[in-house]
Amino acid sequence: MRVTDITSLTVYDGAHGIGGNKIYLEEKGKGVFLDFGKNFGKYGLFYEEFLKNRDTRGIHDLMYLDLLPRLNIYRPDLIPSDLSISSFPSLPVSAVLLSHAHMDHCGNIGTLRRDIPLVASPESIVIMKGMQDCGVTSLDTDNAYFSPRQPSDEMGLYLSSVAGMSYQGRDFCSTEEPSSALAVFLSRKPGQDGKRAKKLEPGRCCCLQESGLCLPFEVSAHPVDHSIPGAAAYILRGETTVAYTGDFRLHGKNESSSREFIRQAREASVLITEGTRAGPTEEEKTSERSVCQACRECVEDSAGLVIADFSPRNFERLESFQDIARKAGRRLVAMAKDVYMLHCLEKVCGSCSADEIGIYSEITDRSRRKWEQEVVASHYADRYVDHAAIRDSPQDYILCFSFFDMKHLLDIKPEGGTYIYSACEAFNEEMEIDFHRLWQWLRRFGISSSGFFLDGKGELHFERPYHASGHASGEDIARAIEQIDPDVIVPVHTESFGWFAESFDNVLAVEEGKRYQI
Ligand SMILES: [Zn+2]
C-alpha cells in the first residue's frame, strides 16, 4: 500500500472544546471536511457582543487570531491585500459533510471557496438558507449564499460588497433526493424582485448518491436525534472505515434513528464521537417526553399569560408546545422568523408544520422585512396576533419569546403570568448576566419563572424538568462506543477528554492541526 492510500485524519479545530468542528479526512490525494463550524470558545477569547469580527476585512482578522485554520482553501474575495494565504497548505477538499445546521458546526462555511460543495440533509440546507433570508447577513451566516466582495479603498484593505452583483449560491449535495421545492427555495431570496434588489444566482443542487461528486470515500449519511431537525451522522468507507457522530442523543423522540446509526457504525474501525456531556453523569432523567409532560403541567397550573422560552431552531420542542397549547385550549404564538422557517421546512421537506400557530405582530416597519412580507404575511395574514389581543386575554396564549424578545412586553404590558425556561443552562459569564437581566424583566411584569430562578443572594439556579439536552449523556456515549466497538476512538466536541482516556484504552489524543494516519 502506498503511503498516500492510507487514510489520514487532521482535526483542525473542535478537538479541545465544545464546537467549532473542522475535521479533515484524506485518502488518495483527496479529502473531505466533517463540518466547518464556528468555535465560539475561541472567538470569545477576543470578541464579545460589542467587539465583533470585522467582515469588511474578510478573513484577515480570523487568520491573525487563529480563529480559522491557516490553509489555502478560502474565498479569494475575502483576502485583503495585507494577507497572503498562498503559502499555506492547499488541501484537496472535495466537499464538506455537514452534520447539522447549528452554528458551531456550520458557522465558518461562508469563508470557504465557492467550488467546495456542501453535503447536507435537506432540512439543514433549508435552515441555513432560511436563517440567511431573515437575518442580518454576515460571514458567520453566509452558508447558503454570499455577496462577493471587492476592495473599496486604495490600499485594498477594506472589502465591501460588489454593487450590482448577484448573491452567489453554494453548491449543495443533498443526502436525500432533493425535492423540486428545494431547488426553487434555493433559487431566490425574498425581496429580490425589487427594482434595485440583488438577485440570487443559485449553485447546483443534486442528490449525494447521483452527484458525480468525486469523493475519496463511499459516504453514507444517517439521520440522528439532536435538538435541531435534519441532524446527520456519517460513515465513510475507504481504506479505513470511519464513523462520525456529529451531535446526537438517545433520549429524544427520534432516538431510534440514533440507535440505527450505532448499529450501522459497527463496521467502522475509527469512531469520531462528540462528547459534550461525556463524564460520569447520572442516568438520563429528562427525556423529550418527560419535558413535554412537565411543561404541560406547568401550563395547566397557569392562569394568565404563559411565555415559553426554548432555542429558536428546536422545532421538536416547538411541536411539544403546539401540542400542549392545543390541549390547554390556548394558542401558540411564535415570532414571524420562526414561522418563516417552519413554513419553509414544511413546504420543502414535509417536516414540521406551521399549522394553527399564531404570529406575533411586532411593532415594526414590515415593508422592510421582505421575507415576512412575501412569505409569512402573504400566506398567514389572518394568523397575526398583536400586543393588544394578548393584553386583553392573556390566558388564551402561549407566547414563544426568548430573553431578546422581552422588549415586546413593554407593548403587551402583562400583569403577571408564567415564564417557562426550556433551554440549556448558562455556560458562561455573559449568559449568566443575561439571566439576571431576564429576572428583572419578569419581576417588572410580575411574571413567575419556572426553569430558573435567582435565590435571595442573587445566585442563579436552574430547575431541570423543563429541558432535555440535545446531547447524549456520558452513560449513553459509553454504551454507544461499546456497541460500535471501534479500534480507535477520536473524541471531539468535548471538554472531557480525560474521561474518554480513563474509560477506554484505544483513545487517540489528537493535537489540533497534526496529521494522523489511521
Ligand atoms: Zn448541535
Nearest to 174 by CA among 241, 97, 258, 112: 97
Ligand 1 center from residue 390 Cα (angstroms): 33
Alpha helices by DSSP H, listed for 35-121, are 40-46, 60-64, 103-106
pTM confidence score: 0.95
* pLDDT for residue 352: 83
- Arithmetic mean of pLDDT over the chain: 94
Ligand 1 center from residue 389 Cα (angstroms): 36
Four-CA torsion 389, 390, 393, 399, nearest 10 degrees: 140
* pLDDT for residue 213: 86
Ligand 1 center from residue 112 Cα (angstroms): 21
Residue 368's pLDDT band, with cuts at 50, 70 and 90, is confident
Ligand 1 center from residue 403 Cα (angstroms): 21
Does residue 517 carry a pLDDT above 60?
Answer: yes
Ligand 1 center from residue 316 Cα (angstroms): 14
Ligand 1 center from residue 226 Cα (angstroms): 7
* pLDDT for residue 1: 45
Ligand 1 center from residue 274 Cα (angstroms): 10
Least confidently predicted of 9-18, 360-369, 433-442 = 360-369
Q: What is the pLDDT of residues 88-141, one digit of tens each?
A: 999 999 999 999 999 999 999 999 999 999 999 999 999 999 999 998 778 988
Q: Give the bridge partners for 120, in sequence order.
A: 174
Once rounded to an integer, what is the mean pLDDT over residues 235-253?
Answer: 96
Tell me the residues surrounding ligand 1 (ion) with CB < 5 Å: 102, 247
Q: What is the pLDDT of residues 400-411, one digit of tens each?
A: 999 999 999 999
Element at 288 (helix H, strand E): helix 288-300
Residue 340's pLDDT band, with cuts at 50, 70 and 90, is very high
Residue 282's pLDDT band, with cuts at 50, 70 and 90, is low
Residue 496's pLDDT band, with cuts at 50, 70 and 90, is very high
Ligand 1 center from residue 471 Cα (angstroms): 8
Helix and strand counts by DSSP (H, E) for the chain:
16, 27
Ligand 1 center from residue 35 Cα (angstroms): 11
Does residue 494 carry a pLDDT above 50?
Answer: yes
Element at 397 (helix H, strand E): strand 397-400
Ligand 1 center from residue 493 Cα (angstroms): 10
